[in-house]
Amino acid sequence: MDKNKTLKDHRQIGQELDLFSVHEVAPGAIFWHHKGYIIYKTLVEFLRNILLKSGYQEISSPVMVKSELFKMSGHWEFYNEHMFNLLVDKEEYSLKPMNCPEASLIYKTMTRSYNDLPIRYSDFGILHRNELSGVLGGAFRVRQFTIDDAHHFIRPDQIQQEILELLSLTSDFYKKFNFKPHFYLATKPDKAMGDPKLWKEAEEDLEKALRSAKVSFDIKEKDGAFYGPKIDIHIKDSQDRDWQLATIQLDFQIPERMGLEYIDADGKPKRPVIVHRAILGSIERFIGILLEHYQGNLPLWLSPVQVAVLPVSEKVEDYARQVFETIKNEGIRVELDMSNKPIGAKIREATLQKIPFMCIIGEKEKTSKDAVVSVRTREGENLSVQKVNSFIQSLKEDIEKAL
Ligand SMILES: [Zn+2]
């Protein structure tokens, strides 16, 4: 990265690229504009495809539920200060701060056998957590957000294998963004529930998994969740800043509190273990990190607009429109600049909008016997005259490769 350029923060990039806004009427919540929401949906779709291949079932559960559920799960006792609670028809309700209790209810809807496990539920549900308004800021600290959350219901003998697979899933995901992961084992906090012996076993299981994954890790003393120890995964971005993204947490408590069971090979009911995990964490925050990491120059597959078609003058507008339609019909996200600005201004505008490719169309392109465009990148590189079809083909290959 060019150190001489001033680095922008995600709020400024978000505004300049028309991605999202925040408004005083909803502190700590993001209003996604069309282009920002494309980034959001593309990331979620990308994850969904990976998860489907990795044996997950996607579920969805209510945002507002009776507080009794969180009393049962233990969240009320240990997490209440961060929850939004409200009275509805004289009954106490909460906005869910986490998805686990509801995932547990779905688990409990039928008898589970030892050979049904692992059951992996992924959940992109909307969560609310009460952060102090003084610490809210853009997409980094929010009150309403979505985590790429998942809960794995497993047998105790499956812990190591399951954690190992998760470590490799997570590392693969980060490679896509050139993030280098670093691992931490977070141990029992002072405010914790459950038997200290179980805590110790769980910490040992996580440690064994980290060792067999052959990754180096540090210990975060007393930084575990109230229901179990966890592995936190941090990354460094292009500005060498450290971010915690992923977390993999072992939980022996919620299965107990929620009365979860499976029937073991000996025909007796046993308690499953829950693994709570998120790979990119809050999607809002992750997009904020990506915007700063790339300074808005998102990779082609994630860019809200992938191609800008820029006619040099009115005389070529018909042909420019034809090119625009051809590219659009191939599923590429494309914009057509029909303003009467000079071509230099159009190129500058598309460059500032961080659009990866520009198709510049003048008389020469229009009168060529093949359908052609002059391609320029946002980095200012001229890729010369290309046939429209082969340009589209190369874009598709680039996108395909990234996914
Ligand atoms: Zn959870």
Does 1 score more than 50 pLDDT?
A: no
The fourth-level CATH superfamily of domain 300-402 is: Anticodon-binding domain (3.40.50.800)
Comparing 226 with 354, the larger pLDDT belongs to 354
Q: Write down the pLDDT at residue 134.
A: 60
Enter the CATH code of domain 10-294: 3.30.930.10
Q: Write down the pLDDT at residue 260.
A: 97
> Which residues make Cβ contacts (< 8 Å) with residue 322, sequence separation at least 6?
371
pLDDT, tens digit (0-9, with 9 covering 90-100), for 235-263: 988 888 899 988 999 998 899 999 999 99
**Which residues on neighbouring strands pair with residue 92, listed in sequence order?**
87
Does 394 score more than 50 pLDDT?
A: yes
CA of 99 to the centre of ligand 1 (A): 6
Q: How many degrees, rounded to 5, is the angle at CA 248 between CA 104 and CA 162?
A: 80
What is the reported pTM?
0.92
Q: Write down the pLDDT at residue 370.
A: 87
How high does pLDDT run on average in the chain? 92
pLDDT, tens digit (0-9, with 9 covering 90-100), for 273-328: 999 999 999 999 999 999 999 999 999 999 999 999 999 999 999 999 999 999 99
CA of 355 to the centre of ligand 1 (A): 38
Percent of the chain past pLDDT 90, that is, above it, reads 74
CA of 151 to the centre of ligand 1 (A): 6
Does 100 score more than 90 pLDDT?
A: yes
Q: Write down the pLDDT at residue 286.
A: 94
CA of 399 to the centre of ligand 1 (A): 33
Domain borders along the chain are 10-294, 300-402
CA of 249 to the centre of ligand 1 (A): 8
Q: Write down the pLDDT at residue 133.
A: 64
Q: Write down the pLDDT at residue 136.
A: 59
Comparing 327 with 142, the larger pLDDT belongs to 327
> Which residues make Cβ contacts (< 8 Å) with residue 304, sequence separation at least 6?
17, 19, 34, 35, 36, 38, 39, 298, 333
> Using an 8 Å Cβ cutoff, are 245 and 204 in contact?
no
CA of 291 to the centre of ligand 1 (A): 27
Produce one character per residue of 270-293: b if its CB has 16 or more CB atoms within 10 Å, e if not.
bebbbbbbbbbbbbbbbbbbbbbb
